[in-house]
Structure 1
Amino acid sequence: MDYVIEMLGIRKEFNGFVANDNITLQLAKGEIHALLGENGAGKSTLMNVLFGLYQPEAGEIKVNGKTVHITNPNIANELGIGMVHQHFMLVDTFTVTENIVLGNEPKKFGTVNMKQAEQKVRELSEQYGLAVDPTAKIADISVGMQQRVEILKTLYRGAEMLIFDEPTAVLTPQEIKELIQIMRALIKEGKSIILITHKLKEIMEVCERVTVIRKGKGIGTVNVSETNPNHLASLMVGRDVTFTTEKADAVPAQSVLEVRGLSVNDSRGVQAVRNLDLDVRAGEIVGICGVDGNGQTELIEAITGLRKVKGGTVMLNGKNITSFKPRKVTESGVAHIPQDRHKHGLVLDYPIGVNMVLQTYYQNPFSKAGIMNYKEVYKKANTLIEEFDVRTPSETTLARALSGGNQQKAIIGREVDRDPDLLIAAQPTRGLDVGAIEFIHRRLIEQRDNGKAVLLLSFELDEIMNVSDRIAVIYEGQIVAVVEPKETTEQELGLLMAGSKKGAGERV
């Protein structure tokens, strides 16, 4: 087999912590090769070594059969290696073209020839089926479009081997389908792809081989045609994983959350939630299901005090909390696992231990007369780190240094620990591996079984079907139907999400 990239016996350490321990990965020409592992297993570290962002302590890298020393990303680019990062490296205020050519601008008489650059971007986007508007500002385009810009950036620099780092973590189901088509088109054009992921469905659909790493060690490489999701999951986490969530039937009690006639505008002032009614009772999980952009984000933000309510009421345990400030909402008994853990869940440059008391830092014993008691903060943090299996070198490690799964576990630990009456979980497993997903689902069901009300927002239909006791379908800012998972199918939900009016007008 002809390998375009060989990483042989790679070892990478950080202050004595071994992130990659003797790992081997070989990418064949014209294949999509998956790199599979739990959050924090060392996948991104390994690819950052290949891309020249980190230098390995041991091991050898070969490109097209020749040993190379990749000491920075420019050398990686020269060797034909491009990386599409999980968190996009784009300048919001620049146009699509400006971002793509940044650092490699075509010049004419000493100045940047933007017309030529735009023409080149158009040609590339047509060649690879990556439709983008070269003149659009990054701030004005969707996440899926921004990812296309990242891919075009690598192609503009002549990449033959592309690394995709968790590319579907931030995409809607429709955008994921489009990305899979894009990857197939790239392979047809003679490119080779390493796909970092933990989504087994995607691996089975598009990859030929998969290299599995667990806790920094290489477990092996298998042919996708000779394996199945259960086998891959057990290789990844080192034990059998259940894909269906075991839970007893819900025993709902009194209403905890009552939303009546709620109307909310989006950031542009356009009405996003229209006269919406919703109930969530103690001892049940209600799933909000809909295509992204139908008002679910604005609904959650209105309930949690992050967005102003235009009309209607939000009641918690019979008390009107409409338009309360976020702190007052949380003090009333609401916990919130936010949709974007980086924007609204964590302060990335604070230690993870401090992040775990962000909702309570101003209370005893964490502060007195405005002075923080870090001994108590870190004592509490260590308790939660252990209870919620947050894998971190220490409680003083910066939040941004943790993997996505461990960041999410820290947020869930912080929110659940406050013993809320209502737990709002927005996209709680986005970008997480099967082991972390199983852990989080168990925690949500635990909250329900402890008599708490849980409101779950997810774009993953199997998650909604698996975890919810009732499903409220949202379309154009209204609940168009309320169904029970046992009495519906993903196909029926898909029709309702597209605007079918079955059950319209029902109150949740």
Structure 2
Amino acid sequence: MHSSPLTPSPLSPYLRLENITKRFGNFTANDGINLEIQTGGIHALLGENGAGKTTLMNILSGLYRPDAGQIYLSGQPVSITSPTVAIQQGIGMIHQHFMLVPQLSVAENIILGTGTALRLNLRQKAQTIAAMAEAYGLAIDPFAKVSDLPVGAQQRVEILKALYRQAKLLILDEPTAVLTPPEIKTFFTVLRQLSAKGHTIIFISHKLEEVLSLCDAVTVLRRGQVIATTTTDGATRQDLARLMMGREVLLQVDRTAGTVQSTADDRPMLEIQNLHVSDDRALAALKGVSLQLRAGEILGVAGVDGNGQRELADAIAGLRSATQGSITLNGVDITHWTAPQRVKQLKLGYIPEDRQQMGLVMRFSIARNLILKAFQRLPFCRHWLLQRATIDTHANTAIQAFDIRATSGNLRVNQLSGGNQQKVVLARELADQPALIIAMQPTRGLDVGATEYVQKALLAECDRGAAILYISTELEEVMAMSDRIAVLYEGQFLAILDARTTTIAQLGLLMAGDRSPVQTASLADRFEF
């Protein structure tokens, strides 16, 4: 694998970027980017968090305007001055963080801003959308309210929104982050069909195996510059990771299972019995879930997004009430404790699935985000006054300890890359050496370097004696990190399995509701702790 100049094609490229440069103050996000993508090609764009990928795609989609350089479509220079112009040029972008109106239906979100007719025949448009969704293998209820949909279904709405606008150039930012292996396989079939019909696709992903499987070519960015452009033939994940990070990267964590620490009376750190929890629509999300988790153990929770994972995590953290059952932490029944009570009296760390919506106050500084759970207590508050010097010192210490790429704690977190935002969440949640850590999709949207960092940090906490509930839709990640794996389907655990003897095929079947991988075991065997 090596960096090589672009090989001229007998066909002119559909997209050509020439010396694209974008600066934010003294920071250069894109530095003289040159890129060509052939018509009908599926072209991967790789780079660590903050390498300039999203900025470059925001330029293409009209959210930013370049400070220098030229964009060409089908050999013709174009000026993309707004998202509307980008859509008119046939460019559609599906963002990693969805741009949907939660209060509107699927159909309303898809057609929003596309028509000028005085009368809106929503039912007819919904039928058109349903037919289109079925044709692309992205079936969804067009009348469903977006806020009621799980993350995976919202991702499908974003994709359909671009296709409805007849996008010829489709930009996909981490499109498989919330899909299961069977869904990813189907989705890739859809992308190949689009490619065969002449659609040009830019595929942004941190999942290197998907890049190698799907894409024809790959361009790697590092610190705003093109490091290499090459075909995927003969390339390996390690090759791509090395180009992205500029160093060797550990792609697979080395989890030494079986180091569970026992207390004097051998009680579990966390015990959940017959837990029932409702979702935001007052529908049953968890239906009698039971588990035990001991100190020094990692229990992975696998499942298709939207099967009760969020409700399970929220119920343990106190953000959602249980309608039935009990939650015991270190021998104390906390079922009816409020979230503030759990934060104040228990050593509990919660890494939520969406760092921007739930984990951080985006307009606050790094320093203030780091004390969100402790700002009313010493040493950060004295006589009801925030101690700024102490807060700043605490932030600087965390920045160093967690390798947060920031010049100071006064920088707002919305100016950080996704990986560095996640490190801020980690720094806050691990600050008090929690006895229990709930890690919900802790590496979602992170590059290989940031993923390596997060996983090592959690393994270190486990070695210290923390009990960790590791919830993820990434099967390989769950298998690598866990001692045991619980498969959650429609609000129930179908099985709790030994991670060392379980296969991805078995987990995939269970995630789809197929009990055959565990039918030979008795119910007691499947739930033996």
Query: Same fold per TM (> 0.5)?
Result: yes
Which piece of structure 1 moves more, 1-10 or 142-151? 142-151
Q: 1:297 to 1:128 in 2, by over 3 A?
A: closer
Q: How does 1:492-507 map to 2 (within 5 A)?
A: 492-497=506-511, 498=513, 499=515, 500-501=518-519, 502=521, 504-505=523-524, 506-507=527-528
1:71 Cα offset (Å): 1.9
Give me the whole-angstrom Cα distance separating, in 1, the residues matched to 2:324 and 2:476: 33
From 51, 59, 67, give the equivalent of 1:49.
Answer: 59
The corresponding residue for 2:23 is 13
Q: Which amino acid aligns with 2:401?
A: E
Q: Which residue identity lines up with residue 281 of structure 1 in the other structure? A: R
The answer to whether 1:263 aligns with 2:275 is yes
1:296 match: 309
Quote the offset at 1:117 in angstroms: 4.0
Q: Go from structure 1 to structure 2 and tell me whether the alpha carbon gap of 1:138 and 1:316 turns closer, same or farther (over 3 Å shift).
A: closer
**How far has the Cα of 1:438 moved from its partner?**
0.9
Amino acid at match of 2:504: E
Q: Distance in 1 between matches of 2:107 and 2:490?
A: 33
Question: What residue number does 1:65 align with?
Answer: 75
Q: Measure how far apart 1:299 and its partner are.
A: 2.3
How big is each residue's C-alpha offset from its partner over 1:62-105, in whole Å with a ceiling of 9 and x where there is no partner? 11112222222222222222212222222223233332232221
Matched, 1:196 2:178: no
- In the other structure, the counterpart of 1:320 is 333
Task: Note closer, same or farther for the CA distance 1:128–1:190 as it changes in structure 2 (3 Å cut).
Answer: farther
CA contact (8 A) 2:278 2:323 kept: no
TM-score (norm 1): 0.92
Q: Which of 101, 104, 117 is the matching residue for 2:111? A: 101
Equivalent runs, 1:32-43 vs 2, <5 Å: 32-43=42-53
More deviation, 201-210/127-136:
127-136
| Superposed displacement of residue 468, structure 1 | 1.1
Partner SS, residue 287 of structure 1: strand
C-alpha deviation, 1:337, in angstroms? 0.9
Q: Offset at 1:133?
A: 3.8
Offset at residue 485 of structure 1 (A): 2.2
Alignment match, 1:158? 166
Amino acid in structure 1 at the alignment position of 2:185: K
Alpha-carbon distance in 1 for matches of 2:53, 2:446:
13
CA–CA separation in structure 2 for the residues paired with 1:91 and 1:478: 30
Is this contact kept in 1: 2:137–2:190, CA < 8 A? yes
Match of 2:388 among 374, 382, 388: 374
Matched residue type, 1:292: D
4+ runs of 1 displaced by more than 6 Å? none
Unmatched runs of 5 consecutive residues or more in structure 1: none
Match of 2:460 in 1: 446
1:310 matched to which residue of 2? 323
The 1:479–1:350 alpha-carbon spacing in structure 2 relative to 1, beyond 3 Å, is same
Q: 1:177 to 1:369 in 2, by over 3 A?
A: farther
Structure 2 residue matching 1:378: 3-state secondary structure: helix
8 A Cα contact 1:381 1:395, kept in partner: yes
**265-274 vs 450-459, which deviates more?**
265-274
Q: 2:248 aligns with which of 216, 233, 240?
A: 240
- In the other structure, the counterpart of 2:145 is 137
Pairwise mapping of residues 329-478 of structure 1 onto structure 2 (< 5 A)? 329-331=342-344, 332-478=346-492
Tell me the distance in 2 between the aligned counterparts of 1:258 and 1:227. Answer: 44
CA distance in 2, matches of 1:154, 1:487: 42
Pair 306,104 (structure 1): closer, same or farther in 2 beyond 3 Å: same
Moved more, 228-237 or 66-75: 66-75
The 8 Å contact of residues 262 and 273 in structure 1, kept in 2 or not, is answered as: no
1:169 aligns with 2:166: no
* Distance in 1 separating the partners of 2:399 and 2:83: 35
| % same residue | 44
Distance 1:477 1:164, change over 3 A: closer
Distance 2:501 2:178 in 1: 30
The one-letter code matched in structure 2 to 1:152 is L
- Alignment: residue pair count: 506
**81-90 or 226-235, larger mean C-alpha shift:** 81-90
Q: 1:341 to 1:124 in 2, by over 3 A?
A: same
CA distance, structure 2, for counterparts of residue 142 and residue 249 of structure 1: 32
Q: 1:390 to 1:125 in 2, by over 3 A?
A: same
Decide whether the 8 Å contact of 1:263 with 1:271 is kept in 2.
no
Q: Deviations over 1:188-247 (max 9, x none)?
A: 221101111111121112110010011222111110113111111111111112222124
Q: Per-residue CA shift, 1:378-432, capped at 9, x if unaligned?
A: 2211211221122235423332332222111111111111111111211111121
Q: C-alpha distance in 2, partners of 1:291/1:162?
A: 25
Taking a change above 3 Å as real, the CA distance of residues 494 and 166 of structure 1, as seen in their structure-2 partners, is closer
With structure 2 as the length reference, what TM-score do the two structures score?
0.89
Distance 2:174 2:378 in 1: 40
- Once the two structures are TM-superposed, the CA of residue 32 in structure 1 deviates from its matched residue by 0.8
Shift of residue 250 of structure 1?
3.9
Q: Residue 93 of structure 1 aligns to which amino acid in structure 2?
A: Q
* 3-state DSSP of counterpart to 2:36: strand
- Aligned position for 1:82: 92
Indicate the RMSD between aligned Cα atoms, in angstroms. 2.3
Q: What stretches of structure 2 of length at least 5 have no aligned partner?
A: 1-8
> In structure 2, which of residues 291, 303, 307 is the aligned counterpart of residue 278 of structure 1?
291
Aligned to 2:33: 23
Relative to 1, partners in 2 of residues 1:304 and 1:64: Cα closer, same or farther, differing over 3 Å? same
CA contact 1:21–1:217 (8 Å) conserved in 2: yes
1:212 to 207, 211, 220: 220
State the distance in 2 between where 1:247 and 1:52 align. 44
Q: Which residue of structure 1 aligns with residue 235 of structure 2?
A: 227
Q: Is structure 2 residue 491 aligned with structure 1 residue 483? A: no
Measured after TM superposition, the shift of residue 459 of structure 1 is 1.6
